[in-house]
A and B are shown apart, each in its own frame.
Chain A
């Protein structure tokens, strides 16, 4: 991705570097413009514009409960986006988040009978580790196909999404179907293993979210400071350059894709234990793709992933209220998630290919 645009033409803010002011402004602009563009859409839908915004964001702010539900909606997005960003930094695209989420969650469901009698912490740990490993392996399939057979991971991860969904559909309508359910979904997680909230004063913070935040900090620190992180980054900047520095480019990319899958698998287990408690067809409402959108908007920068995940989480969280209070279609939310991506793409395109960018390539600006 980063190698497809000649370096000279790149505008500063989309550069693959440390978090900087111009980059932040770019992403912020995308979010703000998309929010403004929401107004005419609300008018078209016949809804009072003020009401629309109030309902959309009222669901996530204003009460302790709303805040907790925002964090709950954000958790799977944040972890998945973190994983996609990891892959993105190595120059690969993990489009398979949804499949990895659901297969990770299904793994935990498979383990319900095993963990039932175990101590709570051990039981949760077993499910979390198993879900992460299966997600890792699911991602590794795409990674190894890329390494060995040069199969585009964009194609293979999408196909693996289908595979995961079909496998889970089979499981939850047959062998793993919950007893007495009228619809196809798995049995419920052992209630003692549900992830609750951590109370800080009156504010309740979901355990999954706490884990997600710890992961953001640990993974950012690791990739920014470790040799592994730098090698991964060099692979993402230019495969040719990395190869000349004797890095194993394709192995690095395969490993990054697998790690990315592991993160999504973990997101699936945490969502299962923290929120839905069952796995059904619609377990993931598209977190994998949203995670990709977040990673793209963040351009591989971990500090940007966090606020963007919160914003997307708020949109998801508010969508239910839009539906229940204003009768807007659930598809409306897809628009909200899509808009900032489109706006950002337009901004990036403009920054790269505007007449000004063409006339004054960055490589010439500071010529001594």
Chain B
């Protein structure tokens, strides 16, 4: 879910039971919590800006020893940035970090570790070609072999945690789960005061999760402060002592000592009610969709990795219909798109395009029948080639030959498309490598939605990298295409967008796609809850909708 930055300083929309800690935006620098207890870690007014993007904005965090602190927030809320600041990977532009009441400056991951801050990253940062022991040595800046004492400490901690890990095994031979366990052991084996875990639970099974939290609790009881980033609201509510919600780089709400509001209240803080009110008036008129589907998916499964299997029980997209796929990023959207555009073949099930099985299409037919706007421009345009070559890719690749005359024609139509899509570049022979991310995306959009005339277009996070005006322009362009009879699959994590332009929406959670339901019957809160995998929340305005994931 990507939402606009709320106006700074307006927290009037917070749930009534959200407790502000007192030293928030007021700038009071205190190292003690409300009860006078010393904080293990205090973040005070930390700001971090990347170019135009404000990642952290006067962020305050109070982390108490002996507790599990949940850090919640949408993608882009600034969780990862603050973690990287605490881990010594980024340096803050402003603000202070206090460790046990003493101001510290964390200049490198090694120093963070020396100060007693250990981080378990979302994706393991162990070096695959080395053994676990060598990785530990590298991280502790030890030359040569790892001393036996450290190796023993690893084995001992692993045993305590109930993990079977050999410090001499090469990381590349470990599964993703084992790598994560090794990461956890490495973080826990020292005498770290603060342990930060960035979304550790998605790759764990249910049983594993139970023992994982039991383990976290034991470590907390030893006086360590534990910060855990999670997308799972229920998990946070059940397992954490304190919860802080970040939004637009800012700590918008903190609840301590299990004084949590309802899930709805937490969700409100994450999304912001001011945003929830928007967008409802611009919805597309509800339509009865009948007739043959352009794209039709039945019982498709694709095993992608240990942590992700994509399951698509049913999806139909008819001519002129915009079907939104909503979900938290990394829930299998990329793989879904790869399946729908015909790049990947499903392990089982059937995908039909224009009434024929997608596997019967040649590469060339797929190229012309399906518009494909992937999330990464590098999947759709070659940086080494120039703009007109990228725009003319279907012709260049699939015509037997393109002679000088045809080249001139292609260049001319590329010029037109560049103007139409506002690609900012000196001319059509500019290399794409020299374009900004937003302009690369415009090149892809111009080719896939304008120069080609596909029957179905699959867009993945299409407005990303575009400014607000270009984004709005693109959304109206997509609606125009739909009105002209193109079937559209619109994959996004942006609630506004989804509810504004989609006719029907399906939610993807952990790789599984739910039923499609009319967008007209949805509100942002319900959609957000469904994306987070919450069931039972009051999700729809219209009770008779039949979407299982949305009820």
**Which residues of A approach B to under 8 Å, CB–CB?**
2, 7-8, 10, 12, 15-17, 225-227, 230-231, 234, 237-238, 240-241, 243-248, 362-363, 365-368
Q: Would you call B257 an interface residue if the criterion is a C-beta within 8 Å of the partner chain's C-beta atoms?
A: no
Verify B434–A230 contact, CB threshold 8 A: no
For B434, give the chain A residue with the smallest CB separation.
Answer: A366
For A17, give the chain B residue with the smallest CB separation.
Answer: B384
* A368 and B439 in contact, given A227-B399, A227-B400, A245-B397 (Cβ under 8 angstroms): yes
Most buried by A among B378, B379, B431, B434: B434
For B406, give the chain A residue with the smallest CB separation.
Answer: A225
For A16, give the chain B residue with the smallest CB separation.
Answer: B384
Most buried by A among B367, B383, B425: B383
22 contacts between A and B (CB under 8 A): A7-B384, A8-B433, A15-B433, A17-B384, A17-B386, A225-B403, A226-B400, A226-B401, A227-B397, A227-B401, A231-B397, A234-B397, A237-B383, A238-B378, A240-B379, A244-B343, A244-B374, A246-B363, A247-B397, A362-B434, A368-B424, A368-B436
Residues of B within 8 A of A245 (CB): 363, 367, 380, 393, 397
Residues of B within 8 A of A243 (CB): 343
Q: How far is the CA of A247 from the CA of B381 in the complex (A)?
A: 14
Residues of A within 8 A of B338 (CB): 244
Verify A234–B401 contact, CB threshold 8 A: no
**Chain B min CB distance to A79 (Å):** 24
For A10, give the chain B residue with the smallest CB separation.
Answer: B433
Q: How far is the CA of A365 from the CA of B432 in the complex (A)?
A: 12
Verify A237–B384 contact, CB threshold 8 A: yes
Verify B433–A362 contact, CB threshold 8 A: yes
Interface residues on B, range: 35 or more
Q: Would you call B496 an interface residue if the criterion is a C-beta within 8 Å of the partner chain's C-beta atoms?
A: no
Q: How far is the CA of A227 from the CA of B439 in the complex (A)?
A: 26
Q: Would you call B526 an interface residue if the criterion is a C-beta within 8 Å of the partner chain's C-beta atoms?
A: no
Q: How far is the CA of A2 from the CA of B397 in the complex (A)?
A: 19
Verify A7–B399 contact, CB threshold 8 A: no
Residues of B within 8 A of A246 (CB): 341-343, 363, 366-367
**Chain A min CB distance to B358 (Å):** 11
Within 8 A of A (CB), among B227-249: none
Verify A15–B384 contact, CB threshold 8 A: yes
Verify A248–B401 contact, CB threshold 8 A: no
Contact of A244 among B380, B383, B401, B430 (CB under 8 A): B380
* A2 and B396 in contact, given A7-B433, A247-B363 (Cβ under 8 angstroms): no
Q: How far is the CA of A229 from the CA of B397 in the complex (A)?
A: 8
Verify B382–A234 contact, CB threshold 8 A: yes
Residues of A within 8 A of B342 (CB): 246
Contact of A230 among B372, B397, B425 (CB under 8 A): B397
Q: How far is the CA of A108 from the CA of B13 in the complex (A)?
A: 86
Q: How far is the CA of A226 from the CA of B436 in the complex (A)?
A: 30
Q: How far is the CA of A12 from the CA of B397 in the complex (A)?
A: 24
Q: Would you call B18 an interface residue if the criterion is a C-beta within 8 Å of the partner chain's C-beta atoms?
A: no
Q: How far is the CA of A366 from the CA of B393 in the complex (A)?
A: 23
